[in-house]
């Protein structure tokens, strides 16, 4: 007899302690806001947004314990990190949950990647990866190395239900090592829950086989583990032999396969700032710590304490992540029957295939931005173009739009409203007008794009 039939269920492992009111705007207000923002929903002021699914990074709800810990004002920065209480509290948590003896805290995932690739990636060498995130990609390329994608072909097939589309193709990896020589390959860098192809996970079985190849050829294996909790939750659900394991056990088993890890704390770890390098090598840690000091990307004591307070809460049970992936699946289930979303569901967002959304006429010019503008005008909900694609996806003509669901921020009622808005947009897709980008010599190419409707 399961819990529900005995009258006991625990669906949501938290309660609201503080809330932010959300304004219900009129369509006329939203139309005016869109025109003022030149049809770029990214620059519409936050107070005119009802539900914001443009990112799940740095916008999740922290716990009361994390807020209290963030008030820490003791010294955290400087050269002697071991002298900082906040650093030591965090180091103990990192050792316990991820199994690494050495770590360097940074401000974000990208600052960790910058330092780690500078130390480990040689100019002119090759890095084997699985459609790595743009920041990882840029930092590798800035060292003068070349990235070769060795992800399985399933990553490019949006319609099948392959449970682990983030997996490395072992034959492609072996072939690369044979062709280029192990000495030419600086590292194998594996992103967990591969954002650019739909947030698809990497299985432990696949990672373990990659580790065997890496060890045989003495090539370091690094993880981009920003979404390690999400990846581990999907392993638990989809990889039969780990069904009885706790999330904490799967996270440790994942980390045990890696020589080093870079990680942003902004996604799975429920804070607004923070990143890490984990390593087994004291020398690399010392170099990375010095580089973080020189780059000015050391983490404040309050930020370290907020993460240190969150980790025991997160690992105390699987409830937080179970509820998170179930909420994303709730939204996915509502859309998958009618709207062309990437299959299967991921752990942090729902991804729309724009080529299919606008078929058979094909995507409008600036399809993602045009759809986002339409959805905002009708509902006040913000969605954004993305995730950022790898060059091999751009070459294939991939066009995606991601509904990123921040952790613990919204209720399933919000998800109902999102499904309603996106379902309506799909039904009215022939009404959605494409956009034209305004070329203005006075504006830098880095400024947010401005559009007019066609």
Ligand X SMILES: Cc1ncc(COP(=O)(O)O)c(C=O)c1O
3-state SS assignment for residue 260: strand
Minimum distance, C-beta of residue 273 to ligand X, in the bound complex (Å): 8
Report 342-361 residues binding ligand X (CB under 6 A): none
Please give the size of the binding site for ligand X, defined by CB under 6 A.
Answer: 14
Q: Which of 131, 155, 226, 247 binds ligand X (CB under 6 A)?
A: 226
Minimum distance, C-beta of residue 254 to ligand X, in the bound complex (Å): 15
Q: Which is nearer to ligand X, 93 or 108 (CB)?
A: 108
Minimum distance, C-beta of residue 193 to ligand X, in the bound complex (Å): 7
Report 45-64 residues binding ligand X (CB under 6 A): 57
**Cα distance from N-terminal residue to C-terminal residue, the chain:** 59
Q: How many CB atoms lie within 10 A of CB 26?
A: 9
Return the DSSP state at 380.
Answer: -
Please check whether residue 201 is in contact with residue 183, taking contact to mean a CB–CB distance below 8 angstroms.
no
Q: Which is nearer to ligand X, 230 or 399 (CB)?
A: 230
Q: Which is nearer to ligand X, 263 or 370 (CB)?
A: 263
Quote the CA–CA distance of 107 and 299 in Å, as a whole number.
5
Minimum distance, C-beta of residue 168 to ligand X, in the bound complex (Å): 16
Quote the CA–CA distance of 10 and 2 in Å, as a whole number.
12
Q: Which is nearer to ligand X, 88 or 398 (CB)?
A: 398
Q: Which is nearer to ligand X, 334 or 408 (CB)?
A: 408
Please check whether residue 311 is in contact with residue 265, taking contact to mean a CB–CB distance below 8 angstroms.
no
Minimum distance, C-beta of residue 262 to ligand X, in the bound complex (Å): 8
How does strand 260-264 pair with strand 102-106?
unpaired
- Residue found by looking up tokens 């904490």 in the block: 248
Q: Which is nearer to ligand X, 271 or 435 (CB)?
A: 271
Minimum distance, C-beta of residue 2 to ligand X, in the bound complex (Å): 35
Quote the CA–CA distance of 165 and 234 in Å, as a whole number.
12
Q: Which of 62, 66, 72, 264 binds ligand X (CB under 6 A)?
A: 264
Among residues 131, 200, 136, 132, the alpha carbon closest in space to that of 166 is found at 200
Compute φ and ψ for 213, nearest 5 degrees. Answer: -65, -45
Tell me the per-residue interface mask from 184 to 213 with ligand X, x by CB under 6 A, - otherwise: -------x---x------------------
Minimum distance, C-beta of residue 127 to ligand X, in the bound complex (Å): 14
Minimum distance, C-beta of residue 420 to ligand X, in the bound complex (Å): 27
Minimum distance, C-beta of residue 132 to ligand X, in the bound complex (Å): 8
Q: How distant, in Å, are the alpha carbons of 179, 211, 218, 259, 345 from that of 185?
A: 11, 14, 10, 15, 33
Minimum distance, C-beta of residue 424 to ligand X, in the bound complex (Å): 29
- Residue found by looking up tokens 């000495």 in the block: 183
Q: Which of 135, 231, 232, 254 binds ligand X (CB under 6 A)?
A: 135
Structure tokens at 369: 């931005």
Q: Which is nearer to ligand X, 345 or 419 (CB)?
A: 345
Q: Which of 266, 308, 368, 405 binds ligand X (CB under 6 A)?
A: 266
Q: Residue 43: CB partners within 8 Å, gap ≥ 6?
A: 37, 448
Report 75-134 residues binding ligand X (CB under 6 A): 108-110, 133
Among residues 302, 251, 294, 313, the alpha carbon closest in space to that of 273 is found at 302
Among residues 318, 328, 309, 313, the alpha carbon closest in space to that of 402 is found at 328
Q: Which is nearer to ligand X, 109 or 260 (CB)?
A: 109
Q: Which is nearer to ligand X, 136 or 203 (CB)?
A: 136
Which residue is at the shortest CB distance from ligand X? 109
Does 284 interact with ligand X (rule: CB under 6 A)?
no
Does 275 interact with ligand X (rule: CB under 6 A)?
yes
Q: How distant, in Å, are the alpha carbons of 41, 82, 118, 229, 352 from that of 332?
A: 23, 45, 39, 19, 10
Minimum distance, C-beta of residue 109 to ligand X, in the bound complex (Å): 3
Full 3-state SS string of 391-404: HHHHHCCCCEEEEE
Alpha helices in 317-353 (DSSP H): 319-336
Q: Which is nearer to ligand X, 34 or 368 (CB)?
A: 368
Q: Which is nearer to ligand X, 402 or 414 (CB)?
A: 402
Report 286-345 residues binding ligand X (CB under 6 A): none
Q: Which residues bind ligand X (CB under 6 A)?
A: 57, 108-110, 133, 135-136, 191, 195, 224, 226, 264, 266, 275
């Amino acid at each position: 007899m399961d819990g529900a039939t005995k009258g006991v269920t625990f669906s949501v492992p938290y309660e609201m302690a503080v809330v932010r009111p959300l304004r219900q705007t009129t369509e006329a207000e939203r139309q005016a806001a869109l025109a003022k923002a030149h049809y770029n929903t990214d620059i519409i002021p936050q107070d005119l947004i009802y539900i914001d699914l443009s990112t799940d990074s740095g916008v999740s709800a922290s716990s009361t314990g994390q807020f209290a810990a963030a008030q820490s004002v003791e010294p955290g920065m400087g050269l002697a990190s071991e002298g900082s209480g906040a650093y030591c509290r965090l180091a103990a948590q990192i050792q316990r949950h991820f199994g690494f003896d050495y770590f360097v805290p940074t401000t974000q995932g990208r600052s960790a990647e910058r330092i780690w690739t500078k130390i480990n990636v040689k100019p002119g060498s090759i890095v084997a990866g699985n459609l790595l995130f743009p920041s990882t990609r840029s930092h590798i390329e800035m060292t003068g190395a070349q990235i070769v994608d060795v992800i399985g072909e399933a990553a490019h097939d949006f319609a099948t239900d392959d449970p682990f589309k983030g997996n490395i193709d072992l034959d492609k990896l072996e072939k690369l090592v044979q062709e280029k020589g192990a000495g030419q390959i600086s590292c194998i860098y594996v992103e967990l829950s591969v954002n650019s192809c739909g947030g698809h996970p990497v299985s432990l079985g696949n990672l373990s086989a990659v580790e065997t190849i890496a060890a045989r050829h003495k090539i370091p294996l690094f993880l981009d583990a920003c979404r390690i909790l999400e990846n581990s939750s999907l392993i638990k659900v989809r990889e039969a032999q780990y069904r009885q394991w706790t999330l904490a056990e799967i996270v440790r088993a994942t980390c045990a396969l890696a020589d080093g890890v870079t990680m942003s704390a902004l996604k799975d770890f429920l804070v607004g700032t923070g990143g890490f390098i984990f390593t087994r090598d004291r020398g690399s840690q010392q170099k990375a710590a010095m580089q973080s000091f020189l780059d000015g990307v050391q983490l404040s004591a309050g930020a370290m304490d907020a993460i240190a307070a969150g980790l025991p809460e997160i690992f105390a049970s699987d409830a937080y992540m179970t509820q998170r992936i179930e909420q994303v699946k709730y939204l996915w289930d509502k859309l998958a029957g009618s709207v062309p979303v990437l299959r299967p569901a991921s752990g942090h967002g729902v991804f729309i295939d724009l080529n299919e959304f606008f078929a058979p006429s094909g995507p409008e010019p600036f399809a993602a931005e045009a759809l986002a503008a339409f959805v905002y005008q009708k509902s006040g909900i913000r969605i954004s173009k993305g995730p950022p694609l790898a060059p091999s996806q751009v070459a294939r003509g991939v066009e995606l739009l991601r509904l990123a669901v921040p952790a613990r921020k919204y209720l399933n009622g919000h998800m109902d409203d999102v499904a309603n808005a996106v379902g309506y947009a799909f039904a009215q897709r022939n009404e959605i007008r494409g956009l034209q980008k305004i070329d203005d010599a006075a504006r830098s190419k880095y400024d947010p794009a401005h559009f007019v409707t066609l």
